Amino acid sequence: MKDKLRKFIFQELLFVADPEQFRDDQDLLEAGLDSMGIMRLIMFIESEFGVTLPDEEIEPDNVQSFDALERWILRHRQ
DSSP 60-78: HHHHSSHHHHHHHHHHH--
Q: Is residue 65 part of a domain?
A: yes
Q: What is the mean pLDDT of residues 6-33?
A: 95
Per-residue pLDDT of 34-52, as tens digits, reads 999 999 999 999 999 999 9
Q: Is residue 34 part of a domain?
A: yes
d(CA 78, CA 76): 6
Number of independent structural domains in the chain: 1
Q: Is residue 61 part of a domain?
A: yes
pLDDT at site 17 = 87
Q: Is residue 35 part of a domain?
A: yes
Q: Is residue 76 part of a domain?
A: yes
Residue bearing the bigger pLDDT, 24 or 77: 24
Q: Domain span at residue 76?
A: 27-78
pLDDT at site 78 = 67
Q: Is residue 5 part of a domain?
A: no
Residue 60 has pLDDT above 80, yes or no: yes
Q: Is residue 77 part of a domain?
A: yes
